[in-house]
Amino acid sequence: MDKKIVLIGAGSTSFGPPMFNDIYLSDVLKGSTIVLHDINREKLEIIYDLLIAENEKHDNKFSLERTTDRSKALKDADFIINSIEVGDRMELWRQDYEIPRKHGSTQILGECGGPGGTFHAWRIIPPIVEIIEDVEKICPNAFFINFSNPMSRVCLAIKRSVEKLNFIGLCHQIGFMVIYLPKLFNRSINELKMSVAGLNHFAFLLGIEELSTGNNLMPFFNANAMKYFKEREDRFVFSMLTFEVFKRFKAFSYVGDNHLGEYLQFGEEFTETQDMVDWINFIDKEGEFWYRRYLNKHKRLKRGKYPKKGILSRRPSGERAVPIIEAIINDKNSYETAVNIPNNGIIDNLPKDLVLECSATVDKNGVHGIRVGALPKNIAALLRIEATIQDLCIEAVLKKSKDLAIACLAIDPNVGSFEMAENIYNEMIEVQKNFLPNFK
């Protein structure tokens, strides 16, 4: 295989090695050129050294390169996988969470929704737009896969910034269903076919089918899910908020309480503040663990004591980037449960100018969303509120408009007033001035 795959943000220890792990497990991609790109040279060199050692252990299955020069990285690229962050992710996330709440916001997490998610979007969208504009100029036929959050808003900015880029966004929240459903149905997950729709971190399970018979399993799910998930309640995953939404809206959101609650005015009513703080702390500690682990492995490598079994696993990470790349190359017409793509006639009662999380098929021409038609009115109403906020969020950052920025904050269900919006805006602009656009 002579494909060129570029990993942007490859210096991240939570992104580079796991993604290379999936690539290494692929026989389809054997012989490809893998380019590691990052603007942090020190971290890039650590990951490159480790992956060179892994590649040598496996008979140099790939041609491995690294560069801090984006133009060089993108030249002749076939596939690009992006996972960048801006600044110190955890420090900024804590600001995104704490500052809006200090001024009275009811937001519960501040990563992808609420005013915190809006500032996250405003920091990360400008550099991603620069990346995709380069992609459009340098390798316009490349297929672009985004992992950076806030997923829906980043992907909407991509859609509005370039005309013909073939892109998708990927998130692993659907993985909760992979864990829970087999026990509920007493079947392997490979025997089940799910269909979903909504927005990233704000999506719903629409259907479950038994693959061997085509039988509709949703009636059984709807009758048994509440009892089943309550018996397995997890404060970070399925808990009071998921159960309340399931009861009130007759639809099950598979994303977990901490993410679902970001978009709902009543999210705080059914979540515990300490649980959200603990979640942020958990992510922080997990990131530190992996960074220290790979740093330790790199030190051992430099001392000539690299572990014989290396750092890669024989099991795939669960992320779907590599299977999708394989499906495009081999024209598989395969099925993907959850991808993020533009709403080109997929859901009738949501805006056309929106990026959905939905089920899709994959072939040589790319990723194609499976038509849903109209969602139930109550679910569509919830999603349209967030769609309106996303619309203003993207316009504000692309136009660098202060008026649109404050309006975006004010109409958010977790803000609800111009006074609060301006107070949040003024403090965040000062605290994060090195990372935010120059709104005028």
Query: Catalytic amino acids?
Result: 172
Beta bridge partners of residue 363, listed in sequence order: 366
Q: Three-state secondary structure along 319-332?
A: CCHHHHHHHHHHCC
Whether 35 and 47 have beta carbons less than 8 Å apart is answered as no
The CA-atom distances, in angstroms, between 278 and each of 10, 112, 188, 272, 274 are 27, 17, 32, 10, 6
DSSP 256-321: -HHHHGGG-TTTGGGS-HHHHHHHHHHHHHHHHHHHHHHHHHHHHHHTT---TT-S--SS--S-SH
87: phi then psi, degrees, rounded to nearest 5: 70, -160
Q: What is the DSSP string of 238-260?
A: SSHHHHHHHHHHS-EETT-HHHH
What angle, rounded to 10 degrees, do the helices at 175-185 and 218-231 form? 100
